[in-house]
Structure 1
Amino acid sequence: MNDFRTRRTTLAATGLAVVAVLALSGCKSGNEDTGATKTTSPSAQPSQSASQSASSEPGGYASPSASAPATGGAAPAGTAKAGQQFKIGEQATFPFASGSTKGTIALAVTAIEKGQPADLAPFKLGDKVKGMVPYYIRYQVKNVGTTDLSFASVGHIKGHLGDGSEAQDLLVIGKFEKCPNDSLPKGFTNGQVTAGCAVALAPSADTKVASAEYWGDPFTLGKGITWK
């Protein structure tokens, strides 16, 4: 599968160390080529520790330690199914593809944390995000297959509001310390673990991002696997 692709508004990136773009909701599927491609650059991205775990913030939804074993959901040796729901902190195991790289991963959303509207100021999005509140979807990836997944991208993670509707995506390019999101590190072989983060926007302070969905290959948007 190609790197994460989605229709998005255009934002000039010249001269900025970190930029973000608002992605349009309602993408048709995880395999649809819909335009611009999210890119990553080793020089623009922060490094991440495999032991990174989510911390609770006021108004956030903290989870057990990211290294805790999964309970419930798919059986340890099983494969997650489209539409399956997991609890925050539980692992879902499934075949993974990023471009020509293929393997098997165990993915767990470890927390959905509420941020502050002021967190969005560095992106200079102005009225486009007026009144919106960022939520940080923190997740852990473990390579449970036999192939090296070095530098593959685990995108396709989006938030959902309490009523089940899609939250607004904010795609960050560059170093955003509140929600670092690298490609998988070099040497990401069997047993290796790393952490990542995706940003979802609630439309107002009166709403919240209550769940997260992974809709990448082999799933599609709206028919992925969710954590709540």
Structure 2
Amino acid sequence: MKPIRSSRRALALASMAAVGALTLTACNDDAGASDTPTTPPATTAPAGQTAAPSTAAITPAATTPAAPSGGASDTGAAPAPAGSAPAAGTTLKLGEAATIPFSSGSTKGTIALAVTSIEKGDPADLADLKLGDKAKGLVPYYIHYKITNAGSTDLSYTSVNHMKGLLADGTEAQELTVIGSFAKCKSASLPKGFTNGQSSTSCAVAMSPEASKIAGAEYWGEPYTLGKGLNWK
């Protein structure tokens, strides 16, 4: 009887190992092939080790049109009360900051956010990301933005993302999510010691068809939603 139990136990352990191997393979495949990934936190390699190669995936644009490029009066949104966040649909000029509430997990604070520039890239910039036909006919644009801590909460290591590109007709552009480092458009968590008055910059990649262009940007993080956020042109 003992040999039978040992045999069953060995089979069970082998089955568990096989399941674990399949799970790891699926995760690796998803990381390299998914078209609709969630935005991952920035990662760095431990000291003495080489960082893993960057990978990327293009997220299709939502079918719901983004907010028109006009100001709050164009969208029918009521003006924001004095001292509160700008109303959804408000359009600001490049470089103009909006002071808004910010939350990341249990951390809540206030930031001043401004899109500072929208830079047209070159399709050749994406060569190392190995996107293949997924990027055919698309041009990358780099949305550079500045974050300033305008509150009393230390926002160290939180991330300000939810920044999307808007095409010339006002609709949402496709988004490129890069896992790892991308020199043309660096995005990282806010640094240590990010207290009141501290500023940092970040970048988001938007993809435009060759026949169009990225004409604006939208921030749709809380308290806003996609298509009803803050716009910059």
The normalised TM-score by structure 2 is: 0.70
Task: Classify 1:144/1:26 alpha carbon distance in 2 versus 1 (closer, same or farther; 3 Å).
Answer: same
Structure with more relative contact order (C-alpha pairs < 8 Å, separation 6 or more): 1
Q: More helix by proportion, 1 or 2?
A: 2
SS at match of 1:165: coil
TM-superposed CA distance for 1:183, in Å, is 0.6
| Larger radius of gyration between Structure 1 and Structure 2 | 2
Matched residue, 1:103: 109
1:76 and 1:105, CA in 2 relative to 1: closer, same or farther beyond 3 A? Answer: farther
Cα shift at 1:207: 1.0
Match of 1:147 among 145, 153, 156: 153
State the Cα distance separating 1:25 from its structure 2 match.
Answer: 2.2
> Which of 121, 135, 138 is equivalent to 2:144?
138
Name the CA distance, whole Å, in 1 between partners of 2:199 and 2:83.
Answer: 18
Tell me which residue corresponds to 2:133: 127
Counterpart residue type for residue 160 of structure 1: L
**Residue 220 of structure 1 corresponds to which residue in structure 2?**
225
Identify unmatched segments of 5+ residues in structure 2. Answer: 1-28, 34-50, 65-78
**CA RMSD for the aligned pairs?**
2.3
> How many positions carry a matched residue from both structures?
174
Among 183, 191, 195, which residue is 2:197 paired with?
191
Say whether residues 1:84 and 2:87 are aligned partners.
no
Matches within 5 A, 1:1-228: 10-12=30-32, 16-26=52-62, 77-204=83-210, 206-228=211-233
Following TM superposition, where does structure 1 have runs of at least 4 consecutive aligned residues deviating by more than 6 angstroms? 73-76
Q: Distance in 2 between matches of 1:178 and 1:165?
A: 24
Distance 2:207 2:156 in 1: 29
* Cα distance, 1:152–1:145 mapped onto 2, change above 3 Å: same
CA contact (8 A) 2:123 2:138 kept: yes
Amino acid in structure 2 at the alignment position of 1:12: G
Query: Structure 1: how far apart are the matches of 2:173 and 2:114?
Result: 19
Structure 2 equivalent of residue 70 of structure 1: none
Q: Percent identity?
A: 58
Q: Secondary structure at the match of 2:32?
A: coil
